Amino acid sequence: SPETISAMLERIEQDNVKFLRLQFTDLLGLPKNVAIPVKQAEKALTGGIGFDGSSIEGFVRIEESDMVLKPDLSTYTLLPWRPRENRVARFICDVCKPDGHSFEGDPRYVLQRAMEDAAKDGYVFNTGPELEFFLFKVLDGRPTTQFQDGGGYFDLAPTDLAEDLRREAVLALTEMGFEIEASHHEVAESQHEIDFKYSDALHTADNVITFKFAVKTMALMRGLHASFMAKPIYGINGSGMHTNCSLAKDGANAFYDPDAPLQLSKTCMHFIGGLLRHAKAITRVANPTINSYKRLVPGYEAPCYISWSASNRSTLIRVPAPRGNSTRVEFRSPDPTCNPYLAFAAMLTAGMEGVREEIEPPVGAGNNIYHMTSVERDRAGIETLPGDLYEAHQALIADDLICRALGPHVVEALTNATNAEWDAYRTAVHPWELDRYLATY
């Protein structure tokens, strides 16, 4: 409304902002932005700013390329690492067509649609992701895979050399409105995790994008590369983005029922049922790179079997111990290369089908399923996640519900992306092959 816009313009002036970044996300989940001088603010906030969508991955063809960025006023924040004078602020934008309608290829819109659908039954989807990343040395301006430190889980200095960087990142993110819950050295050398408080899935997806580029920026300022790649190094843990999920109804956690078995409500159990039913298709958007599948292998705390458990950490879905308002299910397959808007939309849609169709999950996996033989797993009906991007994409195409949630535009763009990526990978000759065959044959 005009009042909110004029209040926003006033705030921009009070903050001494001279540049505005209008930010959005492409299909791959990479942030894009255009900077405008503050003089254009009123125009941008009232009518939006036009741009050429044909140059953006997964957006549109040349002949229909006029797009408009409409800032979401609630996403206003200063960029703390930019100069303290003549400041820079950013808005996350919705992408619209020239006729003012939402653009079907905007990942943010995909998630908004899924959330509106859940809202019909009175539900708000809350997500709390745990993003892991590596800090690597940079040589001659190029990131390497050389560790910055040799620390391990919860280590302190001097083994942990990143405490200053984590501190700076936490301070910057806090200034940007994040509520940081914890930060720590992760299991692998030079691997870290910073946790922020859960929120509704749209806000959280915005936060994931902001988080990654803030951490990358802070690392760069210290001459380091922060990598969110799923499995940068063979033989050690990859980086995950465990996603803690819950539904709220009328302000209360709908997964909590003090009188139910495990104190988990029917809604919670059915949500798990839906997630498990569509787990294979969800994988395509939760694990969208060729490399993602190098993480989903046994032995490194990442899931590969489709199962759930209230106790052990090897399953795809774990129910963490806290109850009451913290009752949640932890979906452990996503990795930080995912486009969080698409991944959350797929998860929510799957979970909501479970709730609506009252899908009972199979019995929880009790003992560690990694210690079962494949015969025992077969007998228990435990299936595996797709083994590579191609297989995951086939699972997506076969899943009407998840395809409908993403919409035909996004599914087509993902198909093109998969084909191109898979062909490039399939035809390349990898170092492993040379090591294996060159001397022998």
Query: Active-site residues: which are they?
Result: 52, 130, 132, 186, 193, 242, 313, 330, 332
State the nearest-atom distance from the C-beta of 273 to ligand ADP, in Å. 18
Rounded CA-CA distance 428/422 in Å is 10
166 lies in the binding site for ligand ADP (CB under 6 A): no
Q: Minimal CB distance to ligand ADP: which residue?
A: 128
> Applying CB under 6 A, does 240 fall inside the site for ligand ADP?
no
> Within the chain, what is the greatest distance between any pair of CA atoms?
75
* Interacting residues with ligand ADP between 59 and 118 (CB under 6 A): none
3-state class percentages of the chain: helix first, strand second, coil last, to nearest 5: 40, 25, 35
- Give kind and range of the element (H or E) at residue 247: strand 241-249
- Tokens for 176, please give them: 């940007």
Q: Smallest gap, in angstroms, from Cβ of residue 195 to Mg ion?
A: 6
Specify whether the backbone of 90 is left (phi greater than 0), alpha (psi in -120 to 50) or beta.
beta
The binder of 181, among ligand ADP, Mg ion, none, by C-beta within 5 to 8 A per type, is ligand ADP
Binding partner of 328, given Mg ion, ligand ADP, none, CB within 5-8 angstroms per partner class? ligand ADP
The binding site for Mg ion (CB under 5 A) comprises 130, 193, 242
CB nearer to Mg ion: pick between 94 and 193: 193
Q: In angstroms, give the least distance from the CB of 342 to ligand ADP.
A: 19
If the CB atoms of residues 19 and 178 are measured against ligand ADP, the closer one turns out to be 178
Count of Cβ atoms closer than 10 Å to residue 288 Cβ: 27
Distances (CA, A) of 241 to 23, 63, 195, 337, 373: 22, 37, 10, 9, 28
Amino acid at 217: T
Instruction: Number of residues interacting with ligand ADP: please give it, by CB under 6 A.
Output: 18
Q: In this chain, which of 185, 216, 242, 278 binds ligand ADP, going by CB under 6 A?
A: 242
Task: State the minimum distance, in angstroms, from the CB of residue 267 to ligand ADP.
Answer: 13
Minimum separation from the CB atom of position 215 to ligand ADP (A) = 15
Residues between 171 and 230 with contacts to ligand ADP, criterion CB under 6 A: 181, 195, 197-198
Q: Exposed, middle or buried, 154 (CB in 10 Å: 0-12/13-18/19+)?
A: exposed
Task: Let me know: does 262 contact 340? Beta carbons within 8 Å.
Answer: no
Q: How far apart are CA 400 and CA 274, in angstroms?
A: 14
For position 309 contacting ligand ADP by CB under 6 A, the verdict is: no
Footprint of ligand ADP (CB under 6 A): 126-128, 130, 181, 195, 197-198, 242, 244-246, 253, 320, 325-326, 328, 330
